[in-house]
Structure 1
């Protein structure tokens, strides 16, 4: 690693990482080597099914090697960070594996993320290149990202994926790089405990968090999570309703393909009808999504009378799962519904295949039994970090084979969310019962989860304070039967005229904040209520929003 390259250091004790290799918990191979072994073992197994059709492991490997050759010719090599903003499909899988084969670090983020957030990610990660779609559902990501070149001195290349004639000037066609000679490529052999991928989570910060994961943490820790849901060891056939570029989607290329030799069934964007059609046509063994998506699918199924081919499991994460959705999904899909409690920060716990409907307690669906081959979980005092006894409510902390290396370009987050011996502080409150089952009861940190996507109120508030008609603002989440939560803006007006919800949205668009983060409710108040500590009383605002009929 050169002196000026981004440092991604492991905050876990080295002896722990080595112990998980010695006992077989982690494979101790880089992701491309794992994928290559799967390809050699079954040359013609289908690797990807997308809008273009089927792609077998051997054809995929040729494309991966060709792209890796083209990227290497651009000067991209071990340790370089490369952004990837592509819809789900073979191109995103090829990019993932090609970067792994080079020993580079992939920084994927979903299509639809705005240029403001993309600039933040690429700058803080010191990315040297980015691969982006020229057009996808009205987005022009390659052109938008090319405009950042002047403000990002480390960003040398914008690689555009799209039809000929649509490529922005100054970008490099992905198709051109895919014409490289796959036969002459010699893959790198990066340290399996070195960084392979950076996961992005908006979390509770005003800027999105980036978390570096090693090859072993992805294929080993996260790979063990999926292994626990494959009862007979048969290579899985996974329908991903979430973006592969999300934290949840990191179970795609690195886990489904490289670790388990399975098949990815991919939609370039989610619709309920498209997802149901994919279940019927491709008969996935595992369907992975967020509760909101399943609620949309259940609405389309109501009254249709058409049965679905039952998967092995319906795996739902990214947002709290309610009992009604879980029961309806189990009946409609004819398989166990698995409640996944997890995050990009390095926590994972799920309810498994033991029951068709996840168990519940007084606060809702429980999180399940922690698996030490994935992530050990403890309950700690939020102030002292001392371990608490069973039954005591405290902060959920996690450490295990899937634990990430560190936060990227944010030592203050390492100090805040990692303990000296490497445990990850989740900011969530919970307890372990007498059977060591994890129950999640609340959150220390303030985020809004809308349809499985995290929204940071602090980020939205920061942009809204620049609105000429806003004197003060607090953003909170309000319950919603479809999306789980929606964001509400509680505003103290500046001057006699209060802003409208539409004007707030126009303002946020002008400041580069993508639509998914815009408030969907507005409450105008004379003053923000305060807690005894002098902070905005978000709980009181939330109560007013849910109880009052005076929503504007």
Structure 2
């Protein structure tokens, strides 16, 4: 399915930014060049996470696994442009499931492991998905039972595959794969050869939350993903044979670009990690001889404060680390470089494709790199960042629409380029609001021009009403919509408040009806009645006599943030 306008495709290909190579072509090139080299490694605690014995695959084994899975899906009737929703922990199985979809031209829609019936059934409904691939369990949660609940309210689902040792109302993936014979693979290959997926076809639909209450589907094609992988690989300076550790869930921009797409670019080894477990993460860095990984700023700062945690890590191998989603400490950036010779790269990105990276060559001063990004576009500056020649940016006053060129003035960041998506999945009204009349994507993020020569951008805040908890976007409006239905709630506003580990947590400001609810009652209502993901629960409750509003009744969240957000956890 090609949804990008033909003129846009032609322009990017004429400029050499897009091509005809798919993500599967990338995989095949590495399997041809280094078939027996290690390519993909499971988390060592996968048995504890999902009841599955961890595995390690060479590039040839990756290709063979993808071909068998694609043949299995084809035998069950899946064809190009069908949609399959996938909910698995970071693993060999998740990686091969995504690649098998790409092989067939099936659109993969990966969902966070935390999603529950509400979110999953909504994704199935909005995409018209005809298949599910899910774990039997992730951690302590029974995902086999979750699959059954989603199937019961999703009549369009044809086939559901369960990944695990056995059990549940679905097709056991391991058993089904064991029954795939060479003739099945040959049949699939012959059929796909007649109508192969192209680099312009949609590969994934990921999900993001913003001002709308419902998550928005973000379709991305192979070329859009390849651009992201090229940018990540260049920033991390990865080479064939390097080893990367991916702790970000491979369900959105962070995990798929820095994990899957970067791996397919440089052709080394991808070591998976999920859910985040600090002792396991550190042992993987040591034992897997990792050259590059990513981690939240607070974690990197905490590691420097305890030398014992870093004991045994070979910093001759671990040359660079990426970080983002919250402000970086200049002390952390400087100390990692001075004490261990490690370059910390400051990364900003969104599912829609807005992507920036502050690396040592472009932002040498650690104090600047902790808070600044290159001001990309036609502003008279030259950057080494790999996507600098194909990314345009400007700041716009969100009230007047006038472009901002003076330093220190907050404005909405607007972006153009070959990595930017072309619109939300089957949501023309939302798409129309998200691009201005000149075709710039309106990110909803506020930046200001900074630096001695106005060469940088500094992140200021968000225009959109979202809370980013541990890298996951949560729509405040969605949680408000549910809470207002609780009989003990007369009025509600949800905001984020600072947390030194997760970046932000959810605070519910409630005007009670009667005596007022407890936080436990509200969360039980959200999880059991509304069946939301656990990470969307509120973590702080404030009972108020009334919410601040302007004369026409508009809620003034900035006043609530001014009162509560400065204090963090109390």
TM > 0.5: yes
Aligned to 2:101: 99
Aligned to 1:487: 506
Equivalent residue runs for 1:433-512 within 5 Å: 433=450, 434=453, 436-495=455-514, 497-510=515-528, 511-512=530-531
CA distance in 2, matches of 1:154, 1:542: 43
Instruction: Please state whether the residue corresponding to 2:545 is helix, strand or coil.
Output: coil
Equivalent residue runs for 1:19-418 within 5 Å: 19-50=11-42, 51=44, 52-164=54-166, 167-169=167-169, 171-179=170-178, 180-181=180-181, 183-184=185-186, 185-186=188-189, 187-188=192-193, 189-219=196-226, 221-231=227-237, 233-251=239-257, 254-295=260-301, 297=303, 301-304=306-309, 306-310=311-315, 311-327=318-334, 330=337, 334-354=341-361, 358-360=366-368, 365-370=371-376, 371-373=387-389, 375-383=391-399, 385=401, 387-389=403-405, 391=407, 393-418=410-435
Contact 2:498-2:566 at 8 Å conserved across structures:
no
Aligned to 1:423: 440
Aligned to 1:4: none
Contact 1:160-1:173 at 8 Å conserved across structures:
yes
Contact 1:313-1:338 at 8 Å conserved across structures:
yes
CA distance in 1, matches of 2:310, 2:490: 53
Structure 1: gaps spanning 5 or more residues? 2-7
Instruction: Please state whether the residue corresponding to 1:360 is helix, strand or coil.
Output: helix
**Per-residue displacement from partner, 1:519-548 (whole Å, max 9, x unpaired)?**
111111111111355322222222332578
Contact 2:497-2:568 at 8 Å conserved across structures:
no
Instruction: Please state whether the residue corresponding to 2:138 is helix, strand or coil.
Output: coil
Shift of 1:246: 2.9
CA distance in 2, matches of 1:547, 1:162: 45
Q: 1:378 to 1:28 in 2, by over 3 A?
A: farther
CA distance in 1, matches of 2:392, 2:229: 15
Instruction: Please state whether the residue corresponding to 1:228 is helix, strand or coil.
Output: helix
CA distance in 2, matches of 1:235, 1:531: 59
CA distance in 2, matches of 1:468, 1:231: 55
Q: 1:253 to 1:277 in 2, by over 3 A?
A: closer
Instruction: Please state whether the residue corresponding to 1:249 is helix, strand or coil.
Output: helix
Structure 2: gaps spanning 5 or more residues? 45-53, 377-386
CA RMSD after TM alignment: 2.6
CA distance in 1, matches of 2:289, 2:214: 39
Instruction: Please state whether the residue corresponding to 1:367 is helix, strand or coil.
Output: strand
Contact 1:248-1:318 at 8 Å conserved across structures:
no
CA distance in 2, matches of 1:158, 1:414: 31
Scaled by the length of structure 1, the TM-score of the pair is 0.90
CA distance in 1, matches of 2:230, 2:392: 13
**Per-residue displacement from partner, 1:84-118 (whole Å, max 9, x unpaired)?**
10001100011011000001111011212122111
Scaled by the length of structure 2, the TM-score of the pair is 0.87
Instruction: Please state whether the residue corresponding to 2:388 is helix, strand or coil.
Output: coil
Instruction: Please state whether the residue corresponding to 2:276 is helix, strand or coil.
Output: coil
Shift of 1:212: 0.4
Q: 1:513 to 1:445 in 2, by over 3 A?
A: same
CA distance in 1, matches of 2:365, 2:244: 20
Instruction: Please state whether the residue corresponding to 1:110 is helix, strand or coil.
Output: coil
Shift of 1:357: 6.6
Instruction: Please state whether the residue corresponding to 1:229 is helix, strand or coil.
Output: helix
CA distance in 1, matches of 2:130, 2:488: 40
Q: 1:374 to 1:333 in 2, by over 3 A?
A: farther
CA distance in 2, matches of 1:315, 1:380: 28
Aligned to 2:549: 530
Contact 2:202-2:220 at 8 Å conserved across structures:
yes
**Per-residue displacement from partner, 1:377-430 (whole Å, max 9, x unpaired)?**
222343565544353542101121211132112222101112345321101112
CA distance in 1, matches of 2:389, 2:285: 30
Aligned to 1:5: none
Q: 1:331 to 1:176 in 2, by over 3 A?
A: farther
Shift of 1:437: 2.3
Q: 1:437 to 1:148 in 2, by over 3 A?
A: same
CA distance in 1, matches of 2:289, 2:333: 20
Q: 1:232 to 1:337 in 2, by over 3 A?
A: closer
Contact 1:337-1:356 at 8 Å conserved across structures:
no
Instruction: Please state whether the residue corresponding to 1:321 is helix, strand or coil.
Output: coil
Higher relative contact order (CA 8 A, sep 6+): 1
CA distance in 2, matches of 1:333, 1:241: 21
Higher mean alpha-carbon deviation, 429-438 vs 150-159, is at 429-438
CA distance in 2, matches of 1:202, 1:325: 30
Aligned to 1:9: 3
Instruction: Please state whether the residue corresponding to 1:147 is helix, strand or coil.
Output: helix
Q: 1:333 to 1:126 in 2, by over 3 A?
A: farther
Higher mean alpha-carbon deviation, 176-185 vs 309-318, is at 176-185
Higher mean alpha-carbon deviation, 178-187 vs 143-152, is at 178-187
Paired residue total: 535
CA distance in 2, matches of 1:264, 1:19: 33
Shift of 1:48: 0.7
Instruction: Please state whether the residue corresponding to 2:137 is helix, strand or coil.
Output: coil
